[in-house]
């Protein structure tokens, strides 16, 4: 590996980032192609490292934001019943706690199709969503939600403060980890947030990624993998304090971080508990992360071996869930249509297209049942319970699920 590619500068503190895992040449994770397209695909080197100073885990290379978030961005947060219930709960909590004063305001970064803000809207509370991807922004507007089709940053946040006044809550879900320029985000939050307001964001948790060897949580959109230690360091750098954390079961394991201006709120006991847990696990140690990288290689080898054996035996294997993170799996493991016939997915914008890089056909769920395959590789493993409940007939017909988290096994 060329040395000049193994060293990077931290996106938080400008420290040196030491690489510990190279996942190879990768396409944009949500760039599903038309079957007859001859357009060149964008590829980049997907490698991840840790800052030697602030311990932040991050990608070595970033992808321009306009390539990832645009008019045709296909992911809709409301597509899952589990996620709809999750975000309804988030909204109700804010309504019961932070949004109880006179004419409060909540601003959401990356509001997607408005799955959380729709509950706020129904309660009659002032709100505003930032969503740079035009298609999903329009889906939110169709629900009556106020949306700006723009990126949240210092300049746009200052405009909102001038027009709307201070916000009691700035919220982001599966968005903050996408942003390699946190300085601008924190300047925007500082400009927009009321003096006693909170900045709350929830994202995939490094601790769960390491524990589950869920390397597919590493892809172009996930520039950062947060821990309590790295978030606390990032917050302090910008005059904020980490005052609460909450473990979440969604998306394979996340943490909700609550930040307030330094001195405004005392950190809760949950913060100290999670910091202590991370210390006990050595989560901030590069050797722990190198051990994770070794496990990733084993999972890749075991998965490819299983799929090749099933092909040799004449079994038909398909995949379930054309997720963004599955691009990491298929391209890192070199899994194409010769090993997995197709991927079924309920998202219309992905159907009848090809997966990024490896060009596996994407079909609607009806194809999965006509006829059932012998095996189904569970790309959407974080929705396994919901999927298996919907596909009980597959199991009754003799079908078997394949999982690779935390290790490769047939269920």
β-strand partners of 257: 201, 245
Residues 319, 271, single domain; the answer is no
Residues 265, 242, single domain; the answer is yes
* Cβ contact 306:298 at 8 Å: no
Q: Which 3 state secondary structure label does DSSP give 56?
A: coil
Domain annotation covers residue 1: no
CATH number of residue 312's parent domain: 3.40.50.720
Residues 272, 296, single domain; the answer is no
Domain annotation covers residue 35: no
Residues 175, 188, single domain; the answer is yes
Domain annotation covers residue 326: yes
Predicted local distance difference test score (pLDDT) of residue 3:
37
Threshold 0.85, pTM exceeds = yes
Residues 326, 248, single domain; the answer is no
Integer-rounded Cα radius of gyration of the chain = 21
Predicted local distance difference test score (pLDDT) of residue 134:
84
Predicted local distance difference test score (pLDDT) of residue 4:
41
Domain that holds residue 235: 77-287
Domain annotation covers residue 249: yes
* Secondary element (H or E) of residue 51: strand 43-51
- Which residue do the tokens 């319970």 mark? 385
Residues 254, 377, single domain; the answer is no
The last residue of one of the domains, among 287, 321, 341, is 287
Residues 276, 316, single domain; the answer is no
Residues 223, 175, single domain; the answer is yes
Predicted local distance difference test score (pLDDT) of residue 77:
73
Give CA–CA dist 69/135, Å, rounded: 10
CATH number of residue 260's parent domain: 3.40.50.150
The residue count of the chain comes to: 411
Predicted local distance difference test score (pLDDT) of residue 2:
34
Predicted local distance difference test score (pLDDT) of residue 359:
98
Residues 245, 360, single domain; the answer is no
Domain annotation covers residue 118: yes
Domain annotation covers residue 4: no
Please count the structural domains in the chain.
Answer: 2
The last residue of one of the domains, among 245, 271, 287, is 287
Residues 252, 148, single domain; the answer is yes
- Which residue do the tokens 């991927």 mark? 343
Predicted local distance difference test score (pLDDT) of residue 74:
59
β-strand partners of 400: 375
Give CA–CA dist 350/342, Å, rounded: 12
* Cβ contact 255:209 at 8 Å: no
* Cβ contact 57:49 at 8 Å: yes
Domain annotation covers residue 336: yes
Domain annotation covers residue 143: yes
For the record, the structure tokens of 57 come out as 């885990």
β-strand partners of 344: 320, 363
Give CA–CA dist 349/321, Å, rounded: 13
Predicted local distance difference test score (pLDDT) of residue 68:
79
The last residue of one of the domains, among 267, 287, 307, is 287
| Per-residue tens of pLDDT for the chain, all 411 residues | 333 445 699 999 999 999 999 999 999 999 999 999 989 999 999 999 999 999 999 999 999 877 877 666 656 677 778 889 999 999 999 999 999 999 999 999 999 999 999 999 999 999 999 998 888 899 999 999 999 999 999 999 999 999 999 999 999 999 999 999 999 999 999 999 999 999 999 999 999 999 999 999 999 999 999 999 999 999 999 999 999 999 999 988 999 999 999 999 999 999 999 999 999 999 999 999 999 999 999 999 999 999 999 999 999 999 999 999 999 999 999 999 999 999 999 989 899 999 999 999 999 999 999 899 999 999 999 989 889 999 999 999 999 999 999 999 999
Cβ–Cβ contacts within 10 Å for residue 73, how many? 20
Residues 354, 212, single domain; the answer is no
Give CA–CA dist 366/345, Å, rounded: 9
């Amino acid at each position: 590996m060329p040395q000049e590619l193994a060293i990077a500068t931290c996106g938080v503190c400008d420290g040196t980032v030491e690489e510990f895992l190279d996942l190879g040449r990768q396409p944009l994770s949500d760039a599903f192609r038309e079957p007859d397209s001859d357009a060149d695909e964008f590829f980049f080197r997907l490698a991840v490292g840790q800052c030697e100073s602030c311990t932040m885990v991050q990608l070595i290379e970033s992808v321009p934001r306009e390539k990832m978030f645009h008019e045709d961005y296909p992911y809709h947060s409301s597509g899952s019943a589990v996620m709809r219930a999750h975000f309804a709960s988030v909204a109700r909590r804010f309504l019961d706690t932070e949004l109880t004063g006179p004419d409060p305001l909540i601003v959401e970064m990356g509001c997607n199709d408005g799955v959380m803000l729709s509950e706020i809207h129904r309660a009659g509370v002032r709100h505003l969503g930032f969503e740079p991807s035009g298609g999903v922004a329009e889906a939110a507007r169709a629900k009556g939600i106020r949306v700006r089709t723009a990126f949240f940053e210092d300049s746009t946040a200052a405009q909102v403060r001038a027009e709307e006044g201070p916000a009691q809550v700035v919220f982001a879900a599966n968005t903050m980890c996408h942003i390699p320029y946190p300085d601008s985000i924190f300047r925007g939050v500082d400009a927009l947030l009321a003096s006693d307001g909170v900045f709350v964001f929830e994202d995939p948790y490094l601790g769960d990624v390491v524990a589950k060897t869920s390397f597919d949580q590493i892809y172009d959109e996930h520039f950062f993998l947060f821990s309590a230690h790295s978030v606390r360091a990032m917050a302090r750098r910008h005059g904020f304090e980490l005052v609460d954390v909450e473990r979440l079961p969604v998306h394979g394991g996340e943490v909700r971080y609550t930040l307030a201006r330094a001195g405004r709120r005392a950190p809760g006991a949950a913060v100290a508990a999670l910091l202590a847990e991370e210390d006990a696990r050595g989560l901030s140690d590069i050797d722990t992360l190198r051990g994770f990288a070794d496990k990733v290689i084993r999972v890749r080898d075991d998965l490819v071996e299983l799929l090749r054996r099933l092909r040799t035996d004449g079994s038909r294997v398909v995949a379930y869930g054309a997720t963004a993170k599955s691009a990491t799996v298929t391209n890192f493991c070199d899994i194409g249509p010769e090993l997995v016939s197709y991927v079924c997915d309920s998202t219309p914008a992905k159907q009848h297209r090809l997966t990024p890089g490896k060009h596996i056909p994407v079909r609607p769920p009806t194809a999965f049942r006509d006829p059932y395959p012998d095996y189904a590789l569970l790309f959407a493993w974080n929705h396994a319970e919901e999927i298996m409940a919907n596909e009980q007939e597959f199991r009754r017909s003799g079908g078997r699920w394949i999982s690779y988290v935390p290790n490769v096994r047939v269920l």
